[in-house]
Structure 1
Amino acid sequence: MTVFLKEEIGKIKLSIPSTDTVLDPKPYTVYLLHVQLAVQFYVLKKRYSEFRILHEELLEVTGRVPPVEFPPKHYLLNVLSKPSIIEERRRKLETYVVTIQCVEDACWRLSPSWRQFLRLPVYAFEQHINLIDNSIIQCPDQPWIRMFHQTKLLLQEVKRDISRQRYSDSITTSQAVWTASMRDFSKVREILERLDQDLNDTNTGITIEERELWRRKDLLHDMKRECDFLEHIIYANKQIKHDMPLVAQSWQDHKQISLHNTSRIPETGRTRELNSIGLIHLQKDILAEQDEQLTSFLPILREQKDMAAAISDELDIQNDMLKELDESVQKTNIKLKFVKKKCEQLK
């Protein structure tokens, strides 16, 4: 593939040419974000609040303000009744996303929030990353973000290998695909451990906000769980290929093997003698019991609310009485001073 072709594949063009109004459940404006890739085009309907969340996440992840001002929120105006405001906001939002996509510093568009917001497919994001020169990346913790994205791409490759292994009709091909998937899977495990160590290492000199730190830990946790699930599938596929003839496996056979290998939930006294229909009725009865419990709590909550309101009223009355008492004391004090002066004059 030539350099020119790689650049064409990696290009992502964004625009917001128009808006639309959604009436259900209540009217609001959506901005039609056009995403043009090399081999794909799609339109995303985004609300202003979604753009605002993206802006806040980019600030948290990178710690830097994007190179273009984000359009402010109008708190006291009904935007739907002001087409001029909607049009102005559309132009500013378009300028915002286009500037981030085209600016030389790739710090913002390499963040996970940007990719999720645009719903970029794996191949497009991978080609886009390959176009970025590391010398212009200025975010201090950019290597972590880049490594995380590369790990996600590698995990996608493992998923493709699993699919190829499942539908391959040759022992040699199946074994080769299994070996490749296990090799990539081992790399993913190693990179995840390294990413986890980087997050827990305090000697790197890189400061990450606590909220962003926990978000990244959650991302790693989700990816580890996905790895565990894929590992189970890899070994299950290998066992199925080993035990069954190399023919097209029907869905019924696959379901029986899955049920045979899956550990069942322990039975209880209420479920041991029930069939599937009985279990459904039992679940409905349990839900009905929970509804009754909630219903029984409602009078108690109303009573507590009435008691709180009565206490509040009583406190207001007591405050008024204290104010009146304070005023009476002040008046009495003034009268006592006046009487004291009269007594001194009589002496």
Structure 2
Amino acid sequence: MSDIQSIKIISTEVVNVPKSHVVYVIQVSTPIRTWTVKRRYSDFISLHSELKSSVGKEPPGSLPAKHWSLIKGVGDEKLIRERRILLEQYLILILTNKDPSFRQSYGFKDFLSVPSNTNPSHPSSVNFTSQSWLLEHTSLQNLLRSARSALLKRDALASMGDSVASRSSSIEAKKILKEASQRIHTLENALSLDSMASMGEGEKKRRYEMVEQLKIERETLNRMSEVGIRTSTSAFSRASEPSGSSSSAFAPTGSTGSTGSNGGSLNSLPGGFPQGQQISIGRTFGVKSPPQETSETRPLDDRGLLQLQVQKMDNQDDQLKELSKLLQRQKQMGEEIHQEIGEQNDLLDEIESGVDKTGRKLGKTKRELNRLG
């Protein structure tokens, strides 16, 4: 795993399960990726004790003192903000300390959910945990969005005539897609490692489907990058052609001149066709054609025509009622599908919450085992 470049506590959240407490959202950045991890104050205390035990000396920083107002409740925004600043300074001191033993310890990396390489020469052997796997998947989704944005920017710049910037965006998109391909392969291989053996078959199948979605998105973006720049230059070139060349596409050879409804020649109108190139027009736009008799209306008098019109309108009303009923049924089906999807999303949120809770417990157990070892 690449060295960590920065650590920031970007926000705080109040969690009511199992009881109200504050969690700190930590953003970790490396040269190739960025992810977030949530930790509560008790996790910082466990980290401090583990660093002291594993390294054999006090960590370079000290934790802020406990406050009864934060233990009893979570409504003191000022104390939460002050503690957030002090906890961020604590992590930065560990990261920038001259002694690398603190930041290289297993407890510190596990606290930040840093994936560890069992074999640095083969990136496919990254040993993910259940939680860090999900973080990597989210990071890959953001990476693919960046590639799509770069391709759209390439097309926009090309339409504006800025070929240099357009080519730069194209190169950036291809570079992002190359990195995404390697990381998707790593993410897929991680599902077969021993660290994922405790995962249920249903959850593992769901994660394989998540990887397939990433592959589909990557292939779509690869095709976009290989097809080339999409611009509307062909439409501009057609619009810029002289009227003579465009009219020749519509005028058949040997066609005779035509007059408008007012008796004037179409060639004499402003913007009309050039001399020598005339077209025949069967109907002038905006002019109503005279009514035509049919076999159904020909034998009817005025009263019969009125009755026929009323009958036709009644038939149309009946058809509209049937169409309205059909649309109502489709609307009802859509609402039921929406409700079902909402319930399934709630179930998925509960499962994800349970997975995160289990991941935290496993992390705490690992730290305890490391302290005992």
TM over 0.5: no
Shorter chain as denominator, the TM-score bin is 0.3 to 0.5
Q: So what's the TM-score if we normalise by structure 1?
A: 0.34
Larger Rg: 2
